[in-house]
Structure 1
Amino acid sequence: MKKNIRFTVLCIVFALLSACSNSGDTTKIEKVKSTMTVAYEVDTSSFDPILSTSGGDHVIQWPIYESLINFDANLNPKPGLAKSWEIVNEKKITMKLEENVVFHDGTPFNAQVVKENIERMNSKDSLNHDIRTIDQVVAVDEYTVDFLLKVPDVSILMALADRGGMMTSPKVFNNKEKGLSENPVGTGPFKFKSRVPNAEVVYEKNKEYWGADKAKVEQLIIKVMADENARMNALRSGEIDFMSGVAPSNIHAMKKNNNLKVEGDTTLNFKMLYINNSFDIVKNKDIRLAILYAIDRQQLVKVVNFGQGEPASQVVPSSHWAYIDDFTISFNVEKSKELIVQSGILAPKLEINHYTRAFETRLAEVLKTQLETAGFTVKLNGMETISAVNGFFKEKNAPIFLSEWTGRTDVQMPIKSLFSRDSFFNTGASASDRLEALIERGSKTFDEKKRKEIYKAIYEQGFLKEAIFIPIMAPTISVAFHKNVIGYEPNITGKVLFSKLGFKDEK
């Protein structure tokens, strides 16, 4: 009898130990399946859309915030928080809003909230100028809003699909002690949980999400990893599930790994030199034009980008509808030398800030060689990403910044943002009256053929006569992820919607 009791007790203990062991394994499996960990190159400059200055901010903001308009892979407008809209005339748009939507803090979404957000986006405190053509927002009723424009604006609808139309909780942005920069609150499929600057952002599933694209995982973690080798090693080891920013030199090696998928294409992203011509050296137009012609874009694509991508002479790639076939910026080192002589500046010295990431460092070094061949002396300053962005655009601490334009939802947006003297990104506030008039014409023109004619005239004036900024090349943007990851939807912006990622059901 005692033996039976002892045997029964041992069986129970064994069963409990087995249960604990199995429970631990299940928890581990569940953790893998319920947490999506991705690696991204840079942290956000700000979680507040009106203070956000980096094009890379979108991917970190999108899980939390939603815009009034959404877009498909080819940048066609789709319903977002606005379920429908009507272009009443050139200067009036009426939107019908989704009902029964609440912010993560419980604040109801309605027309009054839209009005407050748009007015805040266009306030003097905002660094975003994309929707400045909106003169007035009228809350017609609880879920209907009218946008009254100062002038016709061809890009306004898609500008409302960008940061300009991101909806945030008024309860938070009116809180002077802890605003959106520290406590981002939107209506999106994920809620903000925590952030360690330049390390990671943690999001948790919004269980009350109103839309159809509900989160596929309980938790999303975006790890900030500037170093590509660190991202690749983390992906191979299983520390992360998805990485952005695969350099062309590493694509072949990543594709050889049977556990990974690699996808990429040319997007709206292009590398460029921002110029602040309030600095004496680049105030001289001949110096700016000499830089423009000294760059061998084809060589940069071949040497730095391993033949992937294409030279950039416009603000869109050759696959885009607005690309102009008969406009290009030629490489002409002799003309560059002549322009240096014409400038009257002997042995001109250029100082260029750039990111310390491997790709940008290599690009900067080859670019330096090309410019010095034309007769410039070049000093390169490698900087951490956010410091470089804030330094050039806010502190205005350098004449030239080797960076990129990450693409926007309508071609008129980069045209205005990069060329116009009133733009945050034109730090020297330089543009001729003729160029400003062309930009305004582009804004008011809706016919695509006529728009292309205007954009060609803008390129001829803005690049070949004024060299407001210098386009360099449009590289291929590639990502890599484990084969059990689902939900990746490439789009022409090259920016990943991390909120749509999930895992295959392996049952």
Structure 2
Amino acid sequence: MKKRILSATMTSLLAIAMLLAGCSQTTQAPPTEPAKTEQPAQTPAPAPEPAKEGPKQLIVGRGGDSVGLDPIRETDGESFKVTENIYDTLVGYEEESTKVVPSLAEKWEVSPDGLTYTFTLRKGVKFHDGTDFNAEAVKWNFERWMDKSNPFHNQDGYYYYNDMFGGYKGDANHVIKSVEAVDPGTVKFTLNYPLAPFIQNLGMSPFAIASPTAVQAAGADGFTEKPVGTGPFKFKEWKRNDTITLEKNPDYWNAGYPKVDTLVFKAIPENTARLTALINGEIDLMDGLNPDDAEDVKANSELQLILRPSMNIGYIGFNVEKEPFNNQKVREAISHAINKPEIIEAFFAGLGQPAVNPMPPTLWGHNDSIKDREFNLDKAKQLLAEAGFPNGFKTQFWAMPVPRPYMPDGVKIAEAIQQDLKKIGVETEIVTMEWATYLEKTRIGEQTMFMLGWTGDNGDPDNFLATLLDKNNIDGNNNTRWANEEASQLMMKAKQASTQSEREQLYKQVQEIIFKDVPMVPLAHSTPALAARANVVDYKPHPKGSESLEKVDIK
């Protein structure tokens, strides 16, 4: 093919003409209609695809690491924060109350005599290892918990099971007579005696159903680091005292959840450091906010302040088996020497109230007629003299090493109490240690005077009074080791009573006995403050102190 070649002159003239045409805006004539030529059909350009969201990760900052991830073995909130996202219980609670709702059990029936409970189980549910959840799995879990001779029963004991179900198989007060797998979708519990809070207890975090296959493979001790449940997230990795990482369970029975792909629990012991990490975007959600920081969080447009409904007690306890705290007058003297209002003002910033009883006033059965002892140093000195300690004494004072909802800063609060006690001649050495060690040593009674607390698990008075102070729970959660026969008998009657009004009157009597004998000094009921990034949505803190995060999303 021949190429057409323009002379240099012609090319220059054409360029000038084109330039003049481009520069002329007001004098040029309207352009003539160009000649139409046939164009080949054009395929429309495809519409751009919407941008796909990448994997979502939610990082939760907290004050301490979990003790373990086999929920039946644990008693601490840091463990349950994680296990509630790995496991499910037979029944659960409403998102913001302790009203019982279905979970792994879709429905249940109770016999008129209160001795038989029959549960219809949810169909098609799988454990994270792919094995079936069914009635045999439920039976296997309960037999593991209640029978000390079971090869997968941890020989240190399951303290919550002991506390809530009257000991173990063969014990005089053990509640559960038998568990029967009627068919794969039906399980029946037969009780030795009626237990008023039986259903309420089953929703508690420790009674989550684990994969029997996984427990058998890992062993009773190994399973605590290799947890397998039916919950919204699967266990991935645990870096001790740093992070626990969970991954989304794509086969979760509650369709559409969870909303995030990865859930990370990060331990940042110091409250202020945790808040700094939140402000810097290193974490998305945190608990243990210093009450003094609440207003700053509210003023920050990139953050949101969240308040957890109050259902807790922070207290100073006495090991009543050790001198001088085996003397009631010594314990009463200490109670007069602790300035509760001043401590709450200094450390709770308006998000707490002085406590009188071991259970919060938000629970039914609270004895409002009991009036607290006044802060009175002279009265405290008088009682010490009557007890045989006119010049006071020296003792250890165990202080919590991690912030808890009911105790924002254990060591600083202990230092404030230390100064009060010094004024009546009681010299205290503050002792603290790693959290898991602290819990274990207070459980077995190594402490003298100590600091602890409790967040209710199920909204029932039994979960405070019996759990913390029943003589049958010594070596469990009764860290005061107080063994009052009258109080324990009243608590047993209350467990078996058929009406709430009858139970309420019995629990009020128990609180009067506790107040008179002073195994502990109830310090405060707090309204725990949390904070989150502004883009965290659908987080609803539960009164019991921990919750599943399956519905939480990030915008």
| Separation of aligned partners in 2, 1:321 and 1:427 | 24
Amino acid at match of 1:105: D
Shift of residue 138 of structure 1? Answer: 1.5
Residues 82-481 of structure 1 aligned to structure 2 (within 5 Å): 82-88=105-111, 89-124=113-148, 125=155, 126-128=158-160, 129=162, 130-132=164-166, 133-177=175-219, 179-212=222-255, 214-333=257-376, 334-346=378-390, 347-357=392-402, 359-394=409-444, 396-409=445-458, 410-423=460-473, 424-427=476-479, 429-465=481-517, 467-481=518-532
SS in 2 for 1:139: strand
Aligned to 1:3: none
The answer on whether the counterparts of 2:68 and 2:74 sit within 8 Å (CA) in structure 1 is yes
Q: CA deviation at 1:214?
A: 1.3
- How far is the alpha carbon of 1:213 from its aligned partner? 6.1
**In 2, Cα distance between the equivalents of 1:329 and 1:145?**
47
| 1:305 Cα deviation from its structure 2 partner | 1.2
**How far 1:187 moved relative to its partner?**
0.2
The aligned length equals: 474
**AA paired with 1:502?**
D
Q: Which amino acid aligns with 1:103?
A: F
Is the contact made by 1:418 and 1:469 (CA closer than 8 Å) also made in structure 2?
no
Deviations 1:181-240 (A, max 9, x none): 110000000000000111010000001111246110111111011111221111111111
> Can you give the 5+ residue segments of structure 2 that lack an aligned partner in the other structure?
1-50, 149-154, 167-174, 404-408
Report if aligned partners of 2:365, 2:508 keep a CA contact under 8 Å in 1: no
8 Å CA contact 1:56–1:406 kept in 2: the answer is: no
Report the more deviating stretch, 196-205 or 167-176: 167-176
Aligned-partner SS, 1:280: coil
Give the whole-Å Cα distance in 2 for the aligned partners of 1:123 and 1:293. Answer: 44
The answer to whether the Cα contact below 8 Å between 2:91 and 2:100 also exists between their aligned partners in 1 is yes
For 1:38 and 1:55, how far apart are their aligned partners in 2?
Answer: 14
2:71 counterpart of 1:45: no
Letter in 2 for 1:402: M
Change (3 A) 1:46 1:265: closer
2:38 aligned partner: none
* TM-score normalised according to structure 2 size: 0.81
With 101-110 and 291-300 compared, the bigger mean Cα shift is at: 291-300
Whole-Å Cα distance in 2 between the matches of residues 77 and 44 of structure 1?
26
Cα distance in 1 for partners of 2:261, 2:218 equals: 31
Query: Which residue does the alignment assign to 2:88?
Result: 66
1:17 — aligned with what?
A: none
1:167 alignment partner, SS class? coil
C-alpha distance in 1, partners of 2:217/2:519? 39
Compared with structure 1, are the counterparts of its residues 81 and 496 closer, same or farther at alpha carbon in structure 2 (3 Å cutoff)? closer
Shift of 1:445: 2.2
Deviation of 1:492 after TM superposition, in Å, equals 1.9
Query: Structure 1 counterpart of 2:549, which letter?
Result: F
Contact 1:355 1:382 in 2 (8 A): yes
AA matched with 1:436: S
Contact 1:111 1:139 in 2 (8 A): yes
Moved more, 314-323 or 271-280: 314-323
Q: Report the 3-state secondary structure (helix = DSSP H, G, I; strand = E; otherwise coil) of the residue aligned with 1:499.
A: coil
Inter-partner Cα distance in structure 2 for 1:298 and 1:428: 24
**Bigger shift: residues 42-51 or 218-227:** 42-51
Alignment correspondent of 2:5: none
Deviations 1:432-456 (A, max 9, x none): 2111111111211243333222122
Write the letter of the residue equivalent to 1:460.
Answer: E
- Cα 1:53–1:433 change in 2 (3 A) is same
C-alpha separation between the residues in 1 aligned to 2:185 and 2:450? Answer: 44
The offset of 1:265, in angstroms, is 4.5
Aligned to 1:502: 553
Aligned counterpart in structure 1 of residue 100 of structure 2, from 72, 77, 84: 77
Q: Is the 8 A contact 1:354 1:402 kept in 2?
A: yes
Q: Which runs of 5+ in 1 are unaligned?
A: 1-25
Q: Which moved more, 1:328-337 or 1:301-310?
A: 328-337
* Partner-residue secondary structure (3-state), 1:455: helix
Q: Using the alignment, how far apart are the partners of 1:308 and 1:163 within structure 2?
A: 26
CA distance in 2, matches of 1:494, 1:213: 25
- Asked if the contact 2:77/2:546 (under 8 Å) is kept, the reply is no
C-alpha distance in 1 between matches for 2:366 and 2:500: 11
Superposition deviation, residue 428 in structure 1? 5.3
The Cα of 1:266 is off from its aligned counterpart by: 4.8
Q: 1:328 to 1:116 in 2, by over 3 A?
A: farther
- SS of residue paired to 2:307: strand
Q: Do the aligned partners of 2:303 and 2:531 also contact (CA within 8 Å) in 1? A: yes
Q: For 2:423 and 2:503, locate their aligned partners in 1 and report how far apart those are by CA, in whole Å.
A: 37
Instruction: Give the Å deviation of 1:383.
Output: 2.4
Q: Percent identity?
A: 28
Task: State the Cα deviation string for residues 254-283 of structure 1 (Å, max 9, x = none).
Answer: 111101110114511221123322222212
Amino acid at match of 1:499: E
Deviation at 1:39, TM superposition (A): 0.6
**Match of residue 4 from structure 1:** none
- In structure 2, what residue type is equivalent to 1:144? T
Q: CA RMSD in A?
A: 2.0
